[in-house]
Amino acid sequence: MVLEEVKLENLEKGHILAFGECYKKMIHPSSFEILTPLKEISESLRKKLILICLTASLEETENFEDLKKCLADEIWFILNPELKDFKDDLWARVLAEIVKNSRPYGFFFPATIIGTSLAPRLAGILKLGLCAHVNSLELKDNQIIMARPTYGENVIAKLISKSVPVMATISLGTFPINYKNKEPLIKKVIFPETFSWESKLKIKRFFPTKKKITKLSAAKVIVAGGRGLKNKENFQKLFELAKLLNAEVGATRPVCYEGWAEEERMIGVSGVTVRPKVYIGFGISGALQHTVGMENSEFIIAVNTDKEAPLVKIANVAFITDASILLDILIEKLKTMK
Amino acid sequence: MNKIIVCIKGVPIPGTIKVDSETHTLKRESLELILNPNDRVAIEMAIRLKEIYDFKVIVISMGPPNVIPILKHAYALGCDEMILLSDKIFAGSDTLATSLVLAKAIQTLSPYSLILTGLKSIDGETAQVPPEIGALLEIPSITNVKKLFKQNGFWIIIRENEYGEEELELSEPFVASINSHTFDYLRPPSLKRLLEVKKIEPVIFTANELGLSPEQVGLKGSPTQVINIFEKKIEAKGTIMEGSPQELAEKLIRILKTKDLI
C-alpha cells in the first residue's frame, strides 16, 4: 500500500489527536471507542479528528479493514522497525515530536496499559495536564470538560485542563464503536534523519497471555459478585451459574483485590464497562466505582441483604437476601431443570 | 551504598469521603490516612531487593504531617530512611505538580539505582505519577512490573500488559511501578524496628528547600483543575422482593425465563 507521505514539520496544525494502539498485529478496539465522543467534539470545534498509529509496518495488521471505516478524518502512521516493541521512552519521544509539530488542541488515549503508560510520560515531557480514566467529555464555550468518578466513592469530578493540548485517557468500554462510510485519509509521517530511534529499553522476550481473555464487554448475560459473597469459595460458584446461564462472570474491585477473581473480570472505573441484556449482581452494594461500569445494562437484578444499597436502588428487580444462600439454591434448582 | 527510593502515598480510609452538597467540596469524616495498599507491594519489592543486593531503601512521600505515621510504618517494614515533602503550598497539586515535587526531591538523592512505586493510588487511581516522574527525571519508566532482578550488570524486568508478559533489559536508574499482585506474602513490621522508629523522625523538605516556587506547585502549578464535584444521587426505581431464599430463588428463575436465559 502506498501512502501519502508528509514531513514531520509540515503536519497540519490545531486538530484533535487520538492514540491508535497498534500492537501485536492488532489495532486495539479501545482506540475506535474513543473516536466516538471525540468525533462529536472535533465536529463542534470544526477541527479534524486524527488517529495516530505507531507501528513497525502496516503489512501484518490483522484488523486493518476496521481502520478504513473508523470515525477519524485522517490517520497518521509513524512507521519504523524500532516501533515493533512498546518502548515507553521512544514512543513518548515520537509522540512529543508529533505534538510539537502539529500543535493539536487535544490528545486522547484509550486507558489501556500501554495508553496509561504512554500518556503520562508524554505529559511529563511536555509539562502538560492529563486527566485519567475520563468517562464523559463535553464542550462548554469551546472548552473540553471531562468527568470521572473519583475517590473510589460516589463522587464525580468534572475537570478541565488549562494546558494545550488538552490530554486525557478514556476509560475502556465506556463508548460504543461507531463506523462511517467515508474512508479516512491515511498518511505516513516522515521523521527527519536526525531523529534518534534509540531506546534505553530492550525487549528481550514476549510471552503471549495464556489466560483466556474474558469477553466481558461483549457478554449478553453477566453474573457478578461482590464482597457480600463473603469468600472466594462462594465467589467460585458464580462460574457454575455462569455455565448454566451461558453468562460471563464479573467482579467488583474489592473482590479482585482480595484475589477472588482475576483483574480482567473487574467491572467499573478501573476495569471494563459492560452493557449486557441481563446483569445479576450477587452481594454487590454498588459503589460508583462499580456502577458506572454496568449502569447501562438493559436489565439489572441485585441480590443483597441491604435494602439501602445503591445497586438495589438502580436495579430493575432486587432480591433482599443473603447472596451466597440464594446462589446455592439457584444453582441446585437450575441443575434439576436441565 | 546503592539506593532504592520508594514513593508512597497516604490515602483516606475508603468510604470516609463525602461531598458537601452545598459547597461542592469534599468532606472528610476522618483525617486519618492509611498507606495506599498498592504501595505496600512496592515497599515489599524494595525490601526483597535490599536483602539480595544490599541496597539502602529510602521511603519518600508528599503530604501533610499526618503522613508521618505511614512513613514510620514503612520504616518498621524495613525501609532505612524516611523523607516527607510537606508544605501548605503543595495542597491541591495534580499529578504533574506532584511528580515535579517528587522529582525535585529525588534529584537531591542522586545517584540512586531504582525508584519504585505502587501501580496506582486507591483514591485518585490515575497511575500517572510514575511515568511523569520518569519523564521529568529523563530516566526510563516501566509500569506494571512483576519481577525485577540483576543479570550481567543489567536489570531484567518482567512487565505485564493486555497482550502478555514482556521481558526487558535496561540499565539503572529507572522508575518502575509494581503490579499489585506480585507477592503472595507481605511481611509484617518488625518489633525491633517499631521500637527503633519511635525515636526517629522523617527528614522534612519544604517547597523552598526543594527550590520550588508557588507557581510551580499546588493549585497554581496544576494544569488540570477540578471545576465541580458532586455526589451521584440514586433514586430507587425497581421492584424489591423479600421472602425466604427458596421463594426468592423461584421468583428469580421466573424472571430469568422471561428473559429467555433458561
pLDDT reading at B134 higher than 90: yes
B130 touches chain A (CB under 8 A): yes
Q: What is the mean pLDDT of residues A91-100?
A: 98
State how many domains chain A has. 2
Q: Is residue A127 a part of any domain in this protein?
A: yes
How would residue A151 be classed by pLDDT, with cut points 50, 70 and 90? low
Total residue length of chain B: 262
**C-alpha distance from B48 to closest chain A C-alpha (Å):** 22
Residue A210 in any domain: the answer is no
Over residues A318-333, mean pLDDT: 96
Instruction: Report if residue A199 sits inside a domain.
Output: no
Contact yes or no for A209 and B181 at CB 8 A: no
pLDDT tens digits along B194-232: 999 999 999 999 999 999 999 999 999 999 998 988 877
H-helix or E-strand spanning residue A114: helix A113-126
Q: A130 and B128: CB-CB below 8 Å? A: yes
CA distance B16 to B29: 5
Instruction: Indicate if the pLDDT at residue A211 is higher than 70.
Output: no
Q: How confident is the model at residue A265 (pLDDT cuts 50, 70, 90)?
A: very high
CATH of the domain at A319: 3.40.50.1220
**Residues from chain B contacting residue A312 (CB–CB below 8 Å):** 236, 240
What is the SS3 assignment for A105? coil
- What whole-number distance in Å separates Cα of residue A289 and Cα of residue A226? 12
- The answer to whether B206 faces chain A, any CB pair under 8 Å, is no
In chain A, DSSP finds a helix count (H) and a strand count (E) of 10, 19
Give me the percent of chain B exceeding a pLDDT of 90. 81
**Strand-pair category, A22-23 with A26-27:** antiparallel
Q: How far apart, in whole angstroms, are the C-alpha atoms of residue B42 and residue B2? A: 17
Listed by number, the residues of chain B in 58-87 with a beta carbon closer than 8 Å to a beta carbon of chain A are none
Q: What is the pLDDT of residue A87?
A: 97
* DSSP state, residue B109: T
Residues of chain A neighbouring B152 (CB-CB closer than 8 A)? none
Q: Are residues A321 and A243 in the same domain?
A: yes
Tell me the domain boundaries of chain B: 3-210
Q: Which of B111, B107, B109, B114 is nearest to B171 (CA)?
A: B114
Average pLDDT of A40-63?
A: 93
One domain for residues A306 and A175: no
Can you give the CATH number for the domain in which A163 is found?
3.40.50.620
Domain B3-210: homologous superfamily in CATH: HUPs (3.40.50.620)
Check residue A154 and give its pLDDT.
67
Give the confidence band of A18 by pLDDT, cuts at 50, 70, 90.
very high
Q: How much is the pLDDT for B25?
A: 67
Task: Provide the residue range defining the domain that includes A164.
Answer: 4-190
Residue to mutate among A117, A131, A196, A269, with most B CBs inside 10 A, is A117
Are residues B235 and A313, on separate chains, in Cβ contact within 8 Å?
yes
Choose among A183, A151, A233: nearest CA to A67. A183
pLDDT at B238 (0 to 100): 86
Closest partner CB to A206 (pick from B164, B169, B240): B164
Give yes or no for B240 touching A (CB within 8 A). Answer: yes
pLDDT in tens, B207-216: 999 999 999 9
Tell me: the pLDDT tens digits for B9-63? 999 887 777 777 666 667 766 778 999 999 999 999 999 999 999 999 999 999 9
Dump pLDDT digits (tens) for A267-321: 987 788 898 999 999 999 998 889 989 988 989 999 999 999 999 999 999 999 9
Q: Which of B66, B58, B108 is nearest to B82 (CA)?
A: B58
Interface predicted TM-score of the whole assembly (ipTM), two decimals: 0.90
Contact at 8 Å (CB) between A156 and A117? no
Give residue A238's pLDDT band: very low, low, confident or very high (50, 70, 90): very high
Cα A320–A324–A328 angle (5° rounding)? Answer: 110
Mean pLDDT of chain A: 93
- Both A14 and A145 in a single domain? yes
User: Does B230 contact chain A (CB < 8 Å)?
Assistant: yes
Q: How far out from the chain centre does Cα A177 lie?
A: 11
First to last CA, chain B: 66
Buried b / exposed e over A42-66, threshold 16 CB at 10 Å, is beebebbbbbbbbbeebeebeebeb
Q: How far apart (Å, rounded) are the C-alpha atoms in residues B242 and B109? A: 62
Cβ contacts (< 8 Å) between A122 and chain B: which residues?
135
Strand partners, A157: A148, B229
